[in-house]
């Protein structure tokens, strides 16, 4: 991993003990656990932003009746071709 920065963070002792007990193991160091958790938080934040953008875009430009009819037609045609038994 390139471009590493060292960060000092103050945490309540109980929180750090819980992290060590529940999350740190022989395969993952404390630093790796913190890195993984931060990366997960960033992914979650990006996903929330993406969903909010999708909702804004759909609200500003909703599906038209023509588009809805076309997608319904294609779905029904596809379902009719599937063996249901």
Q: Which whole-number Å values give the CA distances from 60 to 38, 57, 72, in the listed order? A: 33, 5, 22
Gap between the Cα atoms of 8 and 42, Å rounded = 19
pLDDT at 37: 97
pTM over 0.85: no
Expressed in angstroms, the distance from the first to the final Cα of the chain is 53
Task: Name the residue ranges covered by the structural domains of the chain.
Answer: 13-81
Gap between the Cα atoms of 36 and 32, Å rounded = 6
The helix/strand/coil state of 28 is strand
**Positions of the chain with pLDDT lower than 70, given as ranges:** 1
Per-residue pLDDT of 33-56, as tens digits, reads: 999 999 999 999 999 999 999 999
């Amino acid at each position: 991993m390139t471009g590493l920065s060292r960060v000092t963070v103050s945490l309540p002792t109980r929180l750090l003990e819980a992290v060590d007990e529940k999350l740190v193991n022989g395969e993952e160091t404390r630093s790796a656990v913190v890195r993984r958790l931060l990366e997960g938080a960033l992914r979650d934040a990006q996903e929330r932003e993406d969903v909010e953008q999708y909702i804004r875009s759909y609200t500003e430009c909703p599906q038209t009746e023509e588009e809805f009819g076309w997608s319904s037609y294609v779905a029904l045609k596809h379902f009719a071709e599937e063996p249901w038994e």
